[in-house]
Structure 1
Amino acid sequence: MNSNARHAARPVIPRTVWALGFVSLFMDLSSELIHALLPIFLVTSMGMSVTALGMLEGAAEATAMIVKIFSGSLSDWLGRRKILLLLGYGLAAFTKPLFPLAASPAMVVAARLLDRVGKGIRGAPRDALVADVAPPEIRGACFGLRQSLDTVGAFAGPLLAIVLMLAFADHIRIVLWFAVAPAFAAIALILFGIREPEHAQAEHRFRSPLHWRALREFSLRYWFVVAIGATFTLARFSEAFLVLRAQQTGLDAAWIPSVMVVMSLVYSLSAYPVGILSDRLDQRLLLACGLALLAIADVVLGSSTSTVVVLSGVAIWGLHMGFTQGILAAMVAETAPASLRGTAFGVFNLACGVCMLLASAIAGWLWDRHGAPATFFMGAVLAVVPLIMCALSPRSGGPGAARAKKKAEQ
């Protein structure tokens, strides 16, 4: 009876979280359809080097992460998140036709960077909106659900790419046009499916997100999360290298997107359950498991060119994503002041963005100079650093932390 009462009292996931999850699903379906084919399109069809590809992917992801610091602070100042979601998702949607129209690598680079600017504009406000509406007791589950739906789109996009590549005889440009419709469906869902919570009216003054006085308001626990996230990102380079590794196994071009299908399927199936666990267990333990999985995935991917082995490594890579991405977001939300959550996500992503640029550039250079195994083995070595930091960081997560956070916010 008591158990049933506790179950009944557990909050339900808000409608806004579900809506944001489906927005992510549609946009990721669009983006990952393109991303699953882009490395092959650039390296094989357009003659780009792997070093240049690594720099592009690093710059693209770093751009998204760095822009988040300004959009997060701006959303705190405005007290509204939806307008920035529309701007960010809208910019990404309008870049989709540029990929099939591209006549040179430069146009693809421009489209990729603009797409990531859109991701940067929307990322921190979206995460802050989830934190705004999520009850503290189920915050990990809310972030995990949104991440799972996001990853369903990331799974469906490459799967659709396989079907379309087979249907259109490997004609990549035709296939890329199919990314346009779901991107605009995401915009419609934001317009008609998302309502922001009412905020207390207060005087807002805009301040630089990097102002030292604002940064002093963050706790040591928050800065530990930033340090772990940054070093973790340094150990984890772009998934474009997984696609190139699969190409080395001799897979036909039409089946190359299966790499992203496998990764995203495992990621999608694991993110939500891990999010639920993070509401009950020490988040450091689950994050450490994810870091260990990253190291294992790197070793597997670097050790063989067998298709089965490489796809196994890709699956483990997807599992490490499920164990880390939602938890890191929940840890940022938990350790940051409620009034500065957007800024907190922005600062976190700035640090991760700088490390992502370095990680992908170094990975591409290692690939060209020393081969694919060196790239993956180096990633495994670097993953040890954030793994050690997890053991040294202050305790985070669990039922006690959720209750304490709820009291602090009341």
Structure 2
Amino acid sequence: LALLVLLGLREGRRASSRPTPLPPLRPSAMPPAYRRFLLVSSVFALALSSNAFLLLRLKDLGLSEGEVTLAYTAYNLLYALLSYPLGSLADRIGLRRVVALGFALYALVYLGFAWAYSPFLGVAFLLLYALYSAAFEGASRAYLATLVPQEAKASAIGLYHTVVGILLLPASLLFGLLWEHGSAPLAFAAGAGLALLALFLFLLDGKKPPAYPG
């Protein structure tokens, strides 16, 4: 009897040590507010072309390779300097407003790159792009975390990054095709249009989502 009990305890420990399979990532299982934001993010992801196109546009406007490198270094420094203060901006005006501001800034930068006619304007819009990056990237993830309950946060964030990551390749391909077969201004204008569409859809959803603790 003692031997049977001992064997039963061992089998029980082995069974309990097996990892519980993770549930599949299903958008339909997520709250409606999350699904709406995922749709908005998918539209916006199609506007997220590679930063290399920004640098190519600076060369197109007349900057040398060394000057483009300096401009991109300035962008990275400004991004690092602004990340913390702009991260606290959401605490004062709310995450939703910061996310909307990010969409608007991205559209403004891409319209600027479409219409820029001098290297000075190109560099100015690149530095404005640093403001967008510092304000939006952290705020979008933080906002996402408020749309789902605690037990679903990991799956929700994983699904968000999967969808956005998959769309980044076609976004850059589309941008490159518009540049090659049309023009650089056309490609940037299309990116701005997609960002404005994402902003419109985001603002159109006037329902206040249930706020879960971030």
Q: TM-score, normalised by structure 1?
A: 0.44
Matches within 5 A, 1:29-68: none
Please state how far the C-alpha of 1:275 moved relative to its aligned partner.
2.1
Q: Does 1:206 align with 2:14?
A: no
Structure 1: which amino acid aligns with 2:200? Answer: I
Of 12, 32, 37, the residue aligned with 1:220 is 32
Structure 1 Cα separation of the partners of residues 36 and 161 of structure 2: 14
Q: Is the 8 A contact 2:150 2:213 kept in 1?
A: no
**Residue 256 of structure 1 aligns to a residue in which SS?**
helix
CA-to-partner distance for each residue in 1:171-193, whole Å, 9 max, x for gaps? xxxxxxxxxxxxxxxxxxxxxxx
**Residue 383 of structure 1 aligns to a residue in which SS?**
helix
Correspondence for 2:128: 316
Q: Does 1:405 align with 2:213?
A: yes
Q: Is the 8 A contact 1:262 1:318 kept in 2?
A: no
Correspondence for 2:208: 395
Correspondence for 1:352: 164
Q: Does 1:334 align with 2:151?
A: no
Equivalent residue pairs, number: 198
**Residue 190 of structure 2 aligns to a residue in which SS?**
helix
Please state how far the C-alpha of 1:203 moved relative to its aligned partner.
7.2
Please state how far the C-alpha of 1:202 moved relative to its aligned partner.
9.1
Structure 1: which amino acid aligns with 2:105? Answer: L
Please state how far the C-alpha of 1:282 moved relative to its aligned partner.
2.9
Q: Choose between structure 1 and 2 for higher RCO, CA contacts under 8 A separated by at least 6 residues.
A: 2
Please state how far the C-alpha of 1:330 moved relative to its aligned partner.
0.5
CA-to-partner distance for each residue in 1:136-191, whole Å, 9 max, x for gaps? xxxxxxxxxxxxxxxxxxxxxxxxxxxxxxxxxxxxxxxxxxxxxxxxxxxxxxxx
Moved more, 264-273 or 314-323: 264-273
Structure 2 Cα separation of the partners of residues 226 and 262 of structure 1: 32
Structure 2 Cα separation of the partners of residues 354 and 334 of structure 1: 23
Correspondence for 1:59: none
Please state how far the C-alpha of 1:278 moved relative to its aligned partner.
1.5
**Residue 335 of structure 1 aligns to a residue in which SS?**
coil
Of 231, 240, 252, the residue aligned with 2:43 is 231
Structure 1 Cα separation of the partners of residues 122 and 159 of structure 2: 35
Of 274, 278, 296, the residue aligned with 2:86 is 274
Please state how far the C-alpha of 1:396 moved relative to its aligned partner.
6.0
Q: Is the 8 A contact 1:248 1:305 kept in 2?
A: no
Q: Is the 8 A contact 1:296 1:380 kept in 2?
A: yes
Please state how far the C-alpha of 1:307 moved relative to its aligned partner.
1.2
Structure 2 Cα separation of the partners of residues 395 and 261 of structure 1: 39
Structure 1: which amino acid aligns with 2:21? Answer: F
> Which protein shows a greater Rg?
2
CA-to-partner distance for each residue in 1:275-304, whole Å, 9 max, x for gaps? 212134332221111111111111111112
Structure 1 Cα separation of the partners of residues 208 and 93 of structure 2: 10
CA-to-partner distance for each residue in 1:192-215, whole Å, 9 max, x for gaps? xxxxxxxxx9974223543x4xx4
Give unpaired runs (5+ residues) of structure 2: 1-15
Q: Is the 8 A contact 2:95 2:142 kept in 1?
A: no
Q: TM-score, normalised by structure 2?
A: 0.81
Of 357, 360, 370, the residue aligned with 2:182 is 370
Q: What's the C-alpha RMSD, in Å, of the aligned pairs?
A: 2.5
Percent identical: 27
Please state how far the C-alpha of 1:305 moved relative to its aligned partner.
4.1
Structure 2: which amino acid aligns with 1:294? Answer: Y
